Amino acid sequence: MSLTTSSCICVTILLLLSGVLGVKDWKVTYEKPHICALKGSSVTIPCSYQYPRGHRVNETFWTNERETNKEPEDLKKNSEYHNRVTYLGDVFENCTFRIENVGERDSATYWFRFVTDKVGGKWIGEPGVTLSVTALQVEKSQQSATGQATLTCKNTCFPKVHNDYVWFRDGKYVLNQYESVLVPEENGKYSCALRRSENVQSAPVKVSMEYSPKNTSVSVSPSGEILEGSSVTLTCNNKANPPVYRYTWFKNGAEISQSGSQKNYYTITNIRSEDSGKYRCVARNTHGTGTSELYSVDVQYSPKNTLVSISPSGDILEGSSVTLTCNSKANPPVDTYTWFKNGAEISQRGSWQDYDIINITSEDTGRYYCNASNRYGTGTSTLYTVDVQYSPKNTSVSVSPPGDIVEGSSVTLTCNSKANPPVDTYIWFKNGAEISRRESWQDYNITNITSEDSGQYYCNATHSLGTRSSALYTVNVVYAPKNTLVLVTPSGDIKKGATVILTCSSKANPPVNTYTWFKNGAKISQRGQNYTITNIKSADSGKYHCVVRNKVGTDMSNHGIVNVDGNQAIVIGSVGGITAVMVLVVLIIVVCKSRGKCSKATKETGSTQHGEQDAASPVYANVSGMPMRPTDQQDLTLYSTVQPHSKSSKDVLYSTVQQPYSHNEDELQYCSIQFPTTSTGSRSAVQQIQDNSVIYSTVSKK
């Protein structure tokens, strides 16, 4: 007989016993009369009911008691159920019911009961729903030869229904195991559950088997990036039974350490970049070994060993091109390079580690360094000196001490030139002619400088790369006036009433800027170079001299004697130097004795500022001089030429004289020489030339 037919018979019997007519109007329908549930799960019992028209349901509940002589108990009032049962239906037709967290004690038959508002309106649905509560079970089978175990998850509720299962080891989910059969890879307590009902697990079964190390791998602690200077620990992970008793570590294929029992770690303190490499470990127990995969240890660090190199190597010649390269060891690689010259930043090139200098010049000479940076820090290179070599340039001449170059001082001319390597040879030129060639001596010294040292100087600076000449440098020697004398215009006989010009001549650098005239020792107001006497008369007779001055010093001339007597003025110049006086006096005496009469006169004494002058100085006379005492030069030979103004060259006279010493210092002779009258009526002149000193003598004819 079918379940549906049996239910109908029971309901009919109950309705007949209760004496209620219209049994077909009372009905309870159970969708699943038999339910098997797993221990710990929740069970929902689907249900529907109906009752006669005109009734109203006042009470609904479920019960697991079925006794005819007493009213069944509502499960919600049972202490074992009241927190675990829920009525999901209503008072119309739905009577679904749920029990939470079922256990084996909940295995029973459950009925739905409802009561209406009419007399006799009580109904209980037959035959009820039978609930069977069972637990999943794990069965273990183990092969003694290999120690391998097989676990099977048994399900007595649905033995013939395919289900997906999940497995747990020591309460933790075992991935990718959805079958009812499991071959465990390691020891532990295993349990199973239906997929999507993971909270309902079987009782755990302990698995213990022996095997060689497997799943061997290396891990590092702390995890993440490994920074230089930190400490890290490499751990050799594996599964083995019995436990591993020896671990061996390898770096880049070479054994580096073998630790004792159960010490599965390798610690590196203060790790360095040299510790980077590929590591692996080998774990060994009594059943064999397990070898890990290679594990790369990548030690990261800020730039170090930073230095500058140059290409091409060797000497750096001006005009060439060079490349400076910033070399640095870093992990991760350098991302920013910054260049400096003599302490000042000159370039920030990002990831460009080269600094190019095209057409290099001496201005590029200096100390260079670079900064190399990554995210961990910066490394600074040592200084690199770029020494640009070039031929001499900017060659010039300077003088020391600066300022005017005064005659008699000492000066140093310096050849200045910029060159690398330094100049090795200096050559000096004066007025275009080479005067000195010296290796590594750039100075040209002139001691006790004279006016003859004036000129245009330049130098050549030379070394292996070339030669460069300086610009011309003018050496201008300044000196106080010298060789000062008085010149008379016109020369010869001067008629009384004529105009006579006395000229003060002097050699000086810079030129004389002040002339002062004196007559008989008294200053004359006129200050120019020329002193003019107009309408000359006897009162103009006297001794005249001049004093000259420039910014360097002063000098005094000889005495010029103007003697106005009768109708004619005789103008006699006296030599400023003693030697010149001697020469002139001797000359006049000789000429007088050989050609005419001599007359005595009182000696006129001339003086100079400096006393005795150089005999080489030019001396102009009409002069009178002081007699000279014997000296070491008494044997000085004098040459004189007396040439009358004549058309005949035969009138030229030559004489050689020696001046004897005269004891009569007060006696001075003047000589008048009378020549035959010529058609031109000109006068004669006596000239002497020796060592740039010229003596002029004018002798008037009576």
Q: Which residue reads 């100390």 in tokens?
A: 367
Instruction: Say if residue 350 is in the same domain as residue 362.
Output: yes
Q: Of the given ranges (62-71, 459-468, 620-629), which has the lowest mean pLDDT?
A: 620-629
- Residue range(s) defining the domain that contains residue 691: 479-698
Strands (E), 155-298: 165-169, 172-174, 181-182, 188-194, 205-207, 211-221, 226-227, 232-241, 246-251, 254-259, 265-268, 277-285, 288-291, 295-297
Closest CA to 214 of 231, 236, 233: 236
Torsions phi, psi for 574 (to 5 deg) = -105, 140
CATH number at residue 167: 2.60.40.10
Instruction: Say if residue 687 is in the same domain as residue 645.
Output: yes
- Residue 184: the pLDDT is 82
Q: What is the DSSP string of 531-589?
A: EEE-S--GGG-EEEEEEEE-SS-EEE-PPEEEEEETTEEEEEEPPSSHHHHHHHHHHHH
Report for 1-10, 15-24, 516-525: range of highest mean pLDDT: 516-525
330-349 tens-digit pLDDT: 999 999 999 999 999 997 67
Instruction: Say if residue 593 is in the same domain as residue 686.
Output: yes
Instruction: Say if residue 487 is in the same domain as residue 636.
Output: yes
Instruction: Say if residue 198 is in the same domain as residue 314.
Output: no
| Rounded distance between C-alpha atoms, residue 653 and residue 641, angstroms | 6
Give the Å distances, CA to CA, from 550 to 415, 509, 511, 553, 554. Answer: 31, 8, 7, 6, 7
564-581 tens-digit pLDDT: 876 666 666 544 433 333
Instruction: Say if residue 543 is in the same domain as residue 676.
Output: yes
| Rounded distance between C-alpha atoms, residue 280 and residue 294, angstroms | 5
Q: Which of 207, 225, 247 is the last residue of a domain?
A: 207
Q: Which of 207, 232, 254 is the last residue of a domain?
A: 207
> Residue 312: CA atoms inside 13 Å, Cβ hemisphere, count?
6
Q: Mean of the pLDDT values across residues 598-621?
A: 35
228-255 tens-digit pLDDT: 999 999 999 998 888 899 999 999 999 9
Q: Which of 191, 207, 223 is the last residue of a domain?
A: 207
The residue with greater pLDDT, 240 or 368, is 368
251-308 tens-digit pLDDT: 999 998 766 667 889 999 999 999 999 999 999 998 899 999 999 999 999 999 999 9
Instruction: Say if residue 426 is in the same domain as residue 451.
Output: yes
Instruction: Say if residue 409 is in the same domain as residue 531.
Output: no
Q: How many domains does the chain have?
A: 6
Instruction: Say if residue 374 is in the same domain as residue 250.
Output: no
pLDDT band at residue 554 under the 50/70/90 scheme: very high
CB count within 10 Å of CB 407 equals: 19
Instruction: Say if residue 286 is in the same domain as residue 382.
Output: no
- Residue 569: the pLDDT is 67
Alpha carbon 701 to chain centroid, angstroms: 96
Long-range contacts of 269-274 (CB under 8 A, 24+ apart): 269/231, 270/229, 270/230, 270/231, 271/226, 271/228, 271/229, 271/230, 271/231, 271/232, 271/299, 272/228, 272/229, 272/299, 273/228, 273/299, 273/301, 273/329, 273/331
Instruction: Say if residue 567 is in the same domain as residue 650.
Output: yes
Residue 24: partners with Cβ closer than 8 Å, 6 or more residues away = none
Instruction: Say if residue 553 is in the same domain as residue 613.
Output: yes
Strands (E), 384-452: 384-386, 388-400, 405-406, 411-420, 425-430, 433-439, 443-446
Q: What is the pTM of this model?
A: 0.46
- Residue 563: the pLDDT is 86
Q: Of the given ranges (18-22, 397-401, 512-516, 521-525), which has the lowest mean pLDDT?
A: 18-22
